[in-house]
Amino acid sequence: MEKEREKKIDTLFVTALNNNVFPGAAMAFSKRTENGYKRLEKYYGLAQNKPSKIKLTKDHFFDLASLTKPLTTVPLLLTLFKKKLLTPETQLGKIYTDCPSDKKSITIRQLMSHSAGFVAHREYFKELIFLPKENIKEVLLNKIMGETITSIKGDKHCYSDLGFMLLGLIIEKLTGKEIGELAHLSIYRPLELQNDLVFPSFDKTRGNSYVSTEMCLWDKKMLSGKVHDDNCRVMGGQAGHAGLFGTLRGVMGLCEQLLDQWQGRRYHPGYSNSLLRNSLTRVGNSAWTMGFDMVSERGSSSGSHFSGTSVGHLGFTGTSFWIDPEKSCIAVLLTNRVHYGRDNWKIKEFRPAFHDLLMGAADLRKKD
């Protein structure tokens, strides 16, 4: 069964490479057994196709894009919950005394579950790029606070980078430290993952190998070790919505930690398992928990085999993870699909096909 599955996986990825779905990809499937996790890891193609070709290896770091939200910002918020600096019900008006009246009652929970009423995205970088670095985050905060709220009841969910940008600014305001340093010290180092999950703009001394994404819009240089997200890049590479880079083993290692905490096998010194479980619980009738996506009834990128309680997230650069607590398994997919341009959306068809191949095989093995 294993050899047959691996051949099908190889065929799927080689076909995707030939069809320019992405230049390179790394995938892992991890299944919890009585003796720990059993992993399958695969690497395909190139870390960079242009201007020169660089082969992808297990030591390459991918720009994880929005995986930063659940893998950095959420656990950092949980540490603040544990320290009583915040709660899910803390309102913006308690954090910012000059908060506009239409945003005073917005809660941390609403920001984390994309129900605060902010729009999905703004190209703030087009104005921020001309400002002194020391003024950028203050101006950004003012711009977010000046946005028109689309819903004030918190019962409508719209995936929003703005909400997580604001959460990142809140974390930095309450701690006096930048996201990258906080994550390194309080989240990754206690798990011995600090060498596989990094913010390059914080950890500048390491000679890491990075998977290339796209040309920078303003200096026209290939982005390798610099975050692809334009707003995050102009903010200095550390933000609540983007900026995290990781190897395949780093992302899978953290996902295994999350599943173990979810199921009570392991702990994290920074926050309790009960706080994590709360963040993994569906909010209202939405497809979101406090920071994690959930399986959609139709057209989910997770395919058709993940259990309804599964959580995950997608990243714009072509990254994703899904964690299934009922089947005790995890799927991670890391690619640089934007290397062929940010409008290359062939991965939308690839993702469910990939997950169905993995999870279909897992279901069959469970019945054997």
- Please state whether beta strands 36-48 and 197-198 pair in parallel, antiparallel, or not at all (unpaired): unpaired
Percent of the chain with pLDDT over 70: 96
Which structure tokens are listed for 79?
Answer: 């540490």
CB count in 10 Å sphere of residue 191: 18
Cα 342 to chain centroid distance, Å, stands at: 17
Q: pLDDT digit string (tens) for 5-55?
A: 889 999 999 999 999 999 999 999 999 988 889 999 999 999 999 889 999
CA distance 255 to 36: 14
H or E element: which one contains 17?
helix 2-18
Given pLDDT bands bounded at 50, 70 and 90, which one contains residue 368?
very low
Instruction: For residue 319, give the amino acid letter.
Output: T
Q: pLDDT digit string (tens) for 221-238?
A: 999 999 999 999 999 999
CA distance 157 to 305: 25
Q: What is the CATH number of domain 2-72+180-367?
A: 3.40.710.10
Q: 362 pLDDT exceeds 70?
A: no
For residue 340, give the DSSP letter: G
pTM over 0.75: yes
CA distance 320 to 314: 4
Mean predicted lDDT score pLDDT of the chain? 93
Q: pLDDT digit string (tens) for 297-322?
A: 777 899 889 999 999 999 999 999 99
Q: pLDDT digit string (tens) for 143-158?
A: 999 999 987 666 788 9
CB count in 10 Å sphere of residue 346: 14
The C-alpha R_g of the chain, in whole angstroms, comes to 20
